[in-house]
Amino acid sequence: MTQVLKLWPLLTATHHYDKSLSTRNVDAGKIIQAPILAYLIETKNGRILYDVGCDYAKISDTEKAAHYYNTEYFPFGAPNMQEEQRLPHHFVRLGLTPADIDVVFLGHLHFDHAGGLCDVCGATGHQPEVHVQKDELDAAHYATKTGEEVAYFDDEVVSQSNWKIMQGEYDIVPGVRAISSPGHTPGHMSLLIELPHSSPIILAGDAADLQENISQEIAPGLCWRNQDELAVSSIRKLKQLAVETKAQLWPNHDMNFWKSLKQFPEFYH
């Protein structure tokens, strides 16, 4: 029996970039706008966040932005993030504060998924549990040490006492299942959410940026160590899971898809 009560998609920023960063070897030269999302899940056992968006300070502070979004590595610059898109502003509209978040589940540790941790942890002295896969943490440490993969920012990956380093698939609570979907990154995780009154939803995360990644089975542009076949097998796995569970499979950076969703503070249940 699912413990889930409600699900909210949260728009935390937007970014524009070359489409081939989302669809590997497809449509290079075409610029797209992409939402950067987090998802809030309310359950009978507490509140879970899937991803936390970007670190606002690294975008709003000109010096920090120049450092972290160095045009050598980020030719399209920093995402566009407004103060009111920070997670605490979403929480306030629901009568919540960061202290009401019990678990932060990080699907992977790229800057646009883990950077906003500072807005949820620490500010109030409250520490939610932060779940991340061991493979992902290892990759992030390696990437930041070597500079090999710039989408991992350095200080997101400092493991703290409240981090739960996980391996493989598991139920966060009954009705919220962590699904392994590596390829984009080594420890990438998607989430299967069983809603109380409607069909389940699978949050693909960056296993599938766009609908096209799912329908055409195209790997994401960024694949760890060019393991695009692994990324495609994860897309197929999620599609199969969606069939088996009669779930909707949601891509993560698809502007048109996001616009078709219920807009905050509306929710799924």
Residues in contact with Zn ion by the rule CB under 5 A = 110, 206
In the complex with Zn ion, the residue whose CB is nearer, 86 or 184, is: 184
Q: How far apart are CA 225 and CA 208, in angstroms?
A: 17
> What is the smallest separation between the CB atom of 109 and Zn ion, expressed in angstroms?
9
Closest listed residue to residue 206, CA positions, set 85, 50, 84, 40: 50
Residue 109 near residue 137 (C-beta atoms within 8 A): yes
Q: Which is nearer to Zn ion, 114 or 241 (CB)?
A: 114
The residue (of 58 and 110) whose beta carbon lies closer to Zn ion is 110
Residue 153 Cβ, how far from Zn ion at the closest point, in Å? 11
Helices (H) and strands (E) counted in the chain, each on its own, are 9, 11
Nearer to Zn ion, 156 or 206 (CB): 206
Q: Compute the least distance from the CB of residue 171 to Zn ion, in Å.
A: 24
Q: Which is nearer to Zn ion, 107 or 175 (CB)?
A: 107
Q: Which is nearer to Zn ion, 34 or 130 (CB)?
A: 34
Find the shortest distance in angstroms from Cβ 113 to Zn ion.
6
For the bound state, the minimum distance from the C-beta of residue 185 to Zn ion, rounded and expressed in Å, comes to 6
Q: What are the tokens at 85? A: 């898109």
Least distance from Zn ion to the Cβ atom of residue 6, Å: 26
CB-based closest residue to Zn ion: 110
Q: Which residues pair with 35 in a beta bridge?
A: 14
**Cβ of 240: how many Cβ atoms within 10 Å?**
10
CA distances, 55 to each of 63, 78, 108, 110, 112 (Å): 14, 11, 15, 11, 8
Tokens 């299967």 label which residue? 192
The nearest distance, CB 229 to Zn ion, in angstroms, is 18
Task: Select 119 or 206, whichever has its Cβ closest to Zn ion.
Answer: 206
* C-alpha dist (Å) from residue 152 to 96, 156, 186, 231: 29, 8, 12, 18
List the one residue out of 118, 111, 206 whose CA is nearest residue 149: 111
Four-residue CA torsion sign, 116, 119, 120, 122:
positive
